[in-house]
Amino acid sequence: MSKNLVLLSYGGEIEYKRAIFCIQSFLSWDIQLANIRIVVYTDLPSYFTQYIQYDLIEYILLTPVLSQELMRNTAYIHLKKVGVIQLTFQKYPDDDLCFIDTDTFFINNPSYIFEAFEIGKCFLHKKEYQLSDSIEKFASFGQGEFPKSFMKFISDREFNIGGKSESFDGTYFSWNTGVIAVNKDFSKLMENVVDLTLQFHNNSKWFISEQLAFSLILQKIAEIRPAEQIVFHYWGKRQKVFMDNYLSVLLNQKSEYNAFFKNFRKSIEKLRIEIENDLSLEQINIAVTQKSYFYAFKQGIKIILKNPLNLQIYRKIYYELV
């Protein structure tokens, strides 16, 4: 029996670079790789082979036809994620599986996840918010209609999960699914994940419908453990710009690339801190725009305490304030 690390990477050079960096960060930790297969769904396998030398990696060509099949002939792009997980389970029914978004990298040893697959337990990236708070949360940036439609749809409604009728309410949580690590027995519920994803999206148009389907089903049948201390997920728009610029330099200059992975643990910790600083700087900028000056001040102090001797940080804080 093997364990599969699954990635979905398509649609251009930036996306390939994110996936390559994620895979290389995984391979750079001290982990027993003999029984771990990496499965990459991509429309350009040749891009990866320039950078990654690892025997147990399988590239599955993501053709336009396969893409439509994975999305069940809908326009909802996140169904591809559900589809590749289901397809991998079908191909390797005896294997546990960890799907990981490409805008991630491993900041601690993956063994914490890959040696802990159990029936009734799983990993998702992190707990985000309770559904009862979702309307107010998304309304703050003009998207309140989506959780409102979703909450209306699930109210007093039952859903089929593993042959049982189940219901959900505002006490359930939305978990970020940048990481989904599940035991092989979860494969029998993948059609339920597809069904709920389609129902949620058709009736709310909420772009996180696949995340909600995984979150709610797993809360019914498993103990969910967070993976955020193992995997860093840079999902925000500004952090993606930061990382895409960083990766363009890193992967285009062989000396930089070799130096990074030669001193991997120091390099990855430094990178994590830089992204977290950028996130705090973004929060300062947003707070100033909204005239929440006290919050901006707290974020500034937070960065300074973490980087008291970094003069560049003081300049960056100033630029966000003005």
Provide the pLDDT for residue 317.
Answer: 72
pLDDT at 239 over 70: yes
Provide the pLDDT for residue 322.
Answer: 64
Provide the pLDDT for residue 88.
Answer: 98
pTM of the full predicted structure? Answer: 0.91
- Identify the band that residue 115 occupies on the pLDDT scale cut at 50, 70 and 90: very high
pLDDT at 244 over 80: yes
Interaxial angle between packed helices 293-306 and 311-321, expressed in degrees from 0 to 180 and rounded to the nearest 10: 170
Interaxial angle between packed helices 237-252 and 254-262, expressed in degrees from 0 to 180 and rounded to the nearest 10: 110
Mean pLDDT of 123-141: 93
Provide the pLDDT for residue 293.
Answer: 67
Provide the pLDDT for residue 285.
Answer: 76
Mean pLDDT of 263-267: 95
pLDDT at 49 over 80: yes
| Segment 188-223, tens digit of pLDDT | 999 999 999 999 999 999 999 999 999 999 999 999
Q: Out of 121-125, 184-188, 256-260, 300-304, pick the least confident.
A: 300-304
Tokens of 69: 């099949």
Between 278 and 194, residue with greater pLDDT: 194
pLDDT at 309 over 70: no
Q: What is the mean pLDDT of the chain?
A: 92
Q: Classify strands 3-9 and 121-130 as parallel, antiparallel or unpaired.
A: unpaired
Interatomic CA distance for residues 273 and 40, integer angstroms:
28
Looking at the chain, the whole-number percentage of residues with pLDDT higher than 70 is 96
